A and B are shown apart, each in its own frame.
Chain A
Amino acid sequence: MKNSMKSIKIIVLFVMGISLSSCEKDFLSPDLESLVNAEIYYNNEEELLKGVINMYDGIQGVNSTSSNDNHSLQVEFYLTEMRSDNTRTKSSEGEAAQFENYTVQATNGIVEDYYRSFYNVVFRANVVLANIDVASDANRANIEAEAKFVRAYAYFNLVRLYGDIPLVNQVLDITDPGYQAISYTRVDTAEIYELIVSDLVTAVDGLDNSYITRASKSAAQALLAKVYLTLGTNYVEAQSLCEDIMLAGFALEPNFKDVFFNELNDEIIFAIGYEKDGLDSQNFSAEWLNAVGRTSGVNYTTQDVRDALDALGGNRTLYSYRVDTDQPSQFQVVKYIPDGDETLDIEETSIDPTKAGNDWIVLRYSDVLLMHVEAIMAGGNDTSVPAALSSFQEVRNRAGLTDVVTTITKEELLDERRVELAFENHRLFDLIRFGEAQSILSQFSAATGGSFNTSDLLLPIPQREINLSRGVMSQNPGY
């Protein structure tokens, strides 16, 4: 009997031993070891550099027609060009036509797609910054600068499109107590711009000009100059940033067509690269055509922009818009066409136009030359400072407009930007920055039967975000 007591005690101890050891954390939440995962991945610089490339993958967006994918840059033209007086849909139908009619709904899927995509880019940049410690001493500053450039680029687009937005400058975990508050608190644009400026100042210091399809010093300087011009402050700094870029070896392509069809040329300061026929291809080029792929017939040119190009474009007009041969009353954008054009001597960039390889140009040298003029004008009505005249003349000379310019008015500068940079997603932001959006777009909208008013200059906060915030997030006026 005593013996059996003893053996029971032994058994109890044995069972206790097993049960205690089984309580170790691993059994309940084992680390995922067979697949890559973010929590344990970034252990060395090589792995961190994959995170750096991952940021550009986020900007590139997914080439698909599924509305659940992040299409990122590939849908940016809807929110910018199609909301300006430059482009519209061919048939005025569906969600896409809300932009040209200025009847955008908070439930618009493209508005939500872009918002979600670019916050995802911010997240990818924050992941790199959160793991910056694994970088070598030699490269840490450079990698930090690159991530901050990407974050500033994403925020600059978001803040100009949506106004007051959440400020996320760290990797948020859904278990963080502050998760809800940070994700859904709208922060004043001034505070967003503070982060953008400080990120870009870091980027200018830490980068060099090794890349075109990745961040560079000149790209950071150009973006910072544009931020200063947008804020209407620091015109002198904007001017000297432009002058630094003007000494960095960039040059206008002699032939305007080559800017778009001779990729990575001397004029490109920052572009998002696409590769034809694969996962890194893009679909927007095909969307601008007629009956190619599932979504097409968008970003067609307006009569208004064609009049401007005919009057002021010089030799740029030929490579800016063309007749849609399937529907000769309609006119398409030439920049970025994927399937070639024999008359214009443009070769196709991919076998399947919906898997196009045309890069998207974010910043190019003529934009910088015209920003240089804008910085010297410094919010005034005109300028005849020789440095401004020379930059302006350089852009016009390439277009074959060689008459000597002796003074530049604000209106002439805005027009020149329109015909030089048409369909490159600049027009809406230019109108707003020059303070001309209300007068020009209300006239345009009255003529085309749209219902523009100034509250349309900001997009709605996507309804989905407002719902997820449980009513905490407020909507922009007019929605």
Chain B
Amino acid sequence: MKKQFKNSFYAILSIIAVFAFNSCEDFEKFEPLDANSIADETPPLASFTATQGAGPDEEWKNYTFGNGSTSATSYSWDFGNGSTSTDVDSATTYPGEGTFVVTLVAKDNLGVSSTFSETIEVIEPDEPLVPDPVLINFDFDKLPKSSGSDCSCAGWINKDIGEQGESSSGNGGTDNVVKFDNNEPDHVYQEFAVTPNADYTIAIVTSFKSPTGGPFPSMLELRVLTGSGYAAGYTPTYYTDTADFPQEDWGYTTISQVEDATNNLLVEVQDNPSDDGYFTKTYTFNAGANDSVALFIRGIGGDSIGDFLYTGGDEEIRADSVIITAVN
């Protein structure tokens, strides 16, 4: 009885054992592996940043890649130039200019992966030449003003700090020069964009009427004014058509602001050469910490009277052109 019981016990046990082993296979056969497993709660997210090399030689072809992926354990890089890597951070050298797609596959230990691609434009950085500034109506031609009539002073008027110059003829042309009248506070003013810290040359062609011998000989004063000295909150607008230029409320609104030495990048004064021909004078200035400056030219030498407390002297002065070029 006892033995029989023991035997049947073993029999049952072995049946169970067989079932148990079989049943595992069955479960795997009929149920997908991951149906009851916990999902990957922290799947990887691939990400990277690319940095171009810098230096005097061919360093621009070198790129370094910083890995910003999260929840990943292994990485596979394709730099788009035929080379690959499995490092965390990586670097490659491109053969030259071109467009390359960089792909990073970040994978975790559960086999879940994430892919991130970025297109890299490899461009050799050229030493940018400083462009010449753009002065509108640099030739002082008789062009439309915003107030209607035409004037050689079009584009060059700032009524807050002087009276406009007059149209005139000279140097072999007609209506082609601007005139700073005797005994008047005549001026020209224009703002323009510059490259910070670049050097510039100003070439100006002028003519003085022969000295009258009076007590107030005329002089022509030229200043380059800093953009950092513009009125608070002022942002320059660069007009291209003389008819669009406003005639007041520019960056400089008072003569004291103009005469503040900290606002002057250049101050030059021309004396009467006692020869009424047209002569070219050149000056240079450095733009300093400014991306915008203003050119201001006026006749001086007369009494400190009138609305602006300056006037031209006894002789008329004419300017035919002003050309500013970058020194590269």
Which residue of the partner chain A has the closest CB to B197? Answer: A385
Q: A454–B56 contact, CB under 8 A?
A: no
Q: Which residue of B lies closest to A479 (CB)?
A: B70
User: Are A239 and B289 interface neighbours, CB within 8 A?
Assistant: yes
Q: Assuming the A-B contacts A387-B288, A453-B88, A477-B70, are A376 and B55 also in contact, with contact meaning beta carbons closer than 8 angstroms in the complex?
A: no
Q: Which of A45-53, A171-179, A299-307, A435-443 is found at the contact surface with chain B?
A: A435-443
State whether B289 touches A240 (Cβ < 8 A).
Answer: yes
Bound complex: CA A345 to CA B89 (Å): 47
Tell me the smallest distance from the CB of B271 to a CB of chain A, in Å.
29
Q: A236 interface residue, CB < 8 Å from B?
A: yes
Contact status of A381 and B56, CB under 8 A, knowing A435-B51, A453-B89, A455-B68: yes
- In the complex, the answer to whether A236 meets B55 with C-beta atoms within 8 Å is no
Residue contact B196 to A477, C-beta cutoff 8 Å:
no
Q: Which of B56, B89, B291 contacts A409 (CB 8 A)?
A: B56
A388→B49 CA distance, assembly (Å): 31
Task: Identify which of A239, A435, A442, A454 contacts B196 (C-beta below 8 A).
Answer: A239
A438 contacts B51, C-beta separation under 8 Å: yes
Q: Is the interface of B mostly helix, strand, loop or mixed?
A: loop
| Chain A residues with CB below 8 A from B51, complex form | 435, 438
A477 near B68: Cβ-Cβ < 8 Å: yes
Which A residues, 442 to 457, have Cβ-Cβ distances below 8 Å to chain B? 442, 453-455, 457
B96 interface residue (CB < 8 Å to A): no
Closest chain B CB from A322 CB (angstroms): 34
| In the complex, residue of chain A having the shortest beta-carbon distance to the beta carbon of B68 | A477
Given A236-B289, A376-B197, A454-B89, A438-B64 contact (CB < 8 Å): yes
| B47 is an interface residue with CB less than 8 A from chain A | yes
Query: In the complex, A383→B89 CA distance in Å?
Result: 31
Query: Are B289 and A243 touching (Cβ within 8 A)?
Result: yes
Q: Which of A382, A388, A442, A455 contacts B56 (CB 8 A)?
A: A382
What chain B residues lie within 8 Å of A376 (beta carbons)?
196-197
* A interface footprint on B277-317 (CB within 8 Å = 1, 0 otherwise): 00000000010111100000000000000000000000000
Asked if B253 is an interface residue, CB under 8 A from chain A, the answer is no
Say whether A78 faces chain B, with CB atoms less than 8 Å apart: no
List the B side residues contacting A475 at CB < 8 Å. Answer: 70
Interface membership of B69, Cβ < 8 A: yes
Q: A240 contacts B64, CB within 8 Å?
A: no
Q: Which of A5-63 contact B (CB under 8 A)?
A: none
The answer on a CB contact under 8 Å between A236 and B54 is no
CA–CA, A236 to B193, complex, Å? 13
List residues 37-95 of chain B with CB under 8 A from any CB of chain A.
Answer: 47, 49, 51, 53-56, 64, 66-70, 88-89, 91
Establish whether residues B89 and A442, one from each chain, have CB atoms under 8 Å apart when the complex forms: yes
What distance in Å separates the Cβ of B320 from its nearest Cβ neighbour in chain A?
32
Residue A341 lies at the interface, judged by CB distance under 8 Å to chain B = no
Instruction: Pick the most buried of B54, B55, B64: most chain A CB atoms within 10 A of its CB.
Output: B54
- On whether the beta carbons of A410 and B54 are closer than 8 Å, the reply is yes
- Distance between Cα atoms of A243 and B226 in the complex (Å): 14
Chain A hits for B264, CB < 8 A: none
Q: How far is the CA of A435 from the CA of B52 in the complex (A)?
A: 9
B228 at the interface (CB under 8 A from A): yes
Among residues of B, the one whose C-beta sits closest to the C-beta of A438 is B64
State how many angstroms separate the Cβ of B228 from the closest Cβ of chain A.
5
| Beta-carbon contact of B196 and A235 below 8 Å | yes
Asked whether A435 lies within 8 Å of B54 as measured between CB atoms, the reply is yes
- The answer to whether B66 touches A438, judged by C-beta atoms less than 8 angstroms apart, is yes
Interface pair A477/B69, CB less than 8 Å apart: yes
User: Closest Cβ of chain A: how far from B223's Cβ, in Å?
Assistant: 19
Min CB gap A99→B, angstroms: 19
Beta-carbon nearest neighbor of B70 in chain A: A477
Given A236-B291, A243-B289, decide whether A454 and B55 contact each other with a Cβ distance below 8 A. Answer: no
Contact yes or no, B67 A453, CB < 8 A = yes
- Taken residue by residue from 213 to 225, chain A's Cβ proximity to chain B (1 for < 8 Å, 0 otherwise) reads as 0000000000000
Most buried by A among B47, B66, B125: B66
Q: Which residue of A235, A236, A375, A410 has the most chain B CB atoms within 10 A of its CB atom?
A: A236
- The answer for the CA separation of A446 and B68 in the assembled complex, in Å, is 20
A residues 219-272 in Cβ contact with B at 8 Å:
235-236, 239-240, 243
- A411-454 vs B, Cβ < 8 Å mask (1 yes, 0 no): 10000000000000000000000010011001000000000011
Closest chain B CB from A457 CB (angstroms): 8
- Residues of chain A contacted by B125 (CB below 8 angstroms): 381
A:323-368 near B, CB below 8 Å: none
Task: Decide if A477 touches B47 in the complex (CB within 8 Å).
Answer: yes
A378 at interface (Cβ–Cβ under 8 A)?
yes
Answer yes or no: A278 CB below 8 A from chain B CBs.
no
Q: Is A386 in the interface zone, CB < 8 Å from B? A: yes
A442 to B90, CA, bound (A): 10
CB pair B228–A454 under 8 Å, yes or no, is no
A431 to chain B, nearest CB (A): 12
Bound-state CA distance A411–B64 (Å) is 17
Query: Whole-angstrom distance between the alpha carbons of A332 and B196 in the complex?
Result: 43
A75-92, CB under 8 A of B: which get 1 and which 0?
000000000000000000
Report the minimum CB–CB distance from B214 to chain A (whole Å). Answer: 42
The answer to whether A439 touches B64 (Cβ under 8 A) is yes
Which residues of chain B come closer than 8 Å to A474, judged between CB atoms? 70
Q: Are B47 and A381 in contact (CB under 8 A)?
A: no
Which B residue's beta carbon lies closest to that of A434?
B54
Q: Determine the distance from Cα of A344 to Cα of B289 in the docked complex, in whole angstroms.
A: 41
Contact A240/B88 with A387-B288, A438-B51, A438-B64 known, Cβ cut-off 8 Å: no
Kindly list chain A residues whose C-beta atoms are within 8 Å of the C-beta of B290: 236, 240
Q: Are A411 and B55 touching (Cβ within 8 A)?
A: yes
In angstroms, how far is the closest chain B Cβ from the Cβ of A158? 20
Say whether A236 contacts B67, CB under 8 Å.
no
- Inside 8 A of B47's CB, which chain A residues have their CB? 477
Q: CA–CA, A420 to B244, complex, Å? A: 52
A6 to B48 CA separation, bound complex (whole angstroms):
87
* Residue contact B67 to A454, C-beta cutoff 8 Å: yes
- Min CB distance B175 to A, Å, is 39
Contact of A477 among B64, B67, B228, B289 (CB under 8 A): B67
Could you tell me the distance between the alpha carbons of A119 and B64 in the complex, rounded to whole angstroms?
Answer: 34
Residue of B nearest to A385 (CB): B197
Q: In whole angstroms, how far apart are the Cα atoms of A409 and B290 in the complex?
A: 22
B59 to chain A: closest residue by CB: A381
A383–B91 CA distance with the chains assembled, in angstroms: 27
In the complex, the chain A residue whose C-beta lies closest to that of B62 is A439
Report Cα–Cα, A163/B294, bound state, in Å. 42
Question: Which 9 residue pairs across A and B have the least CB separation, nearest first?
Answer: A454-B66, A240-B289, A239-B289, A385-B197, A453-B88, A453-B89, A477-B70, A438-B64, A236-B196
* 5 A–B pairs (Cβ distance < 8 Å), ordered by A: A387-B286, A438-B51, A438-B64, A477-B69, A478-B67
Interface residues of A (CB under 8 A from B): 235-236, 239-240, 243, 375-376, 378, 381-383, 385-388, 409-411, 435, 438-439, 442, 453-455, 457, 474-475, 477-478
Residues of chain B whose beta carbon lies under 8 Å from any beta carbon of chain A: 47, 49, 51, 53-56, 64, 66-70, 88-89, 91, 125, 196-197, 228, 286, 288-291
Given contacts A236-B291, A239-B196, 8 further A-B contacts (CB under 8 A): A240-B289, A383-B197, A438-B64, A438-B89, A455-B66, A477-B68, A477-B69, A478-B70
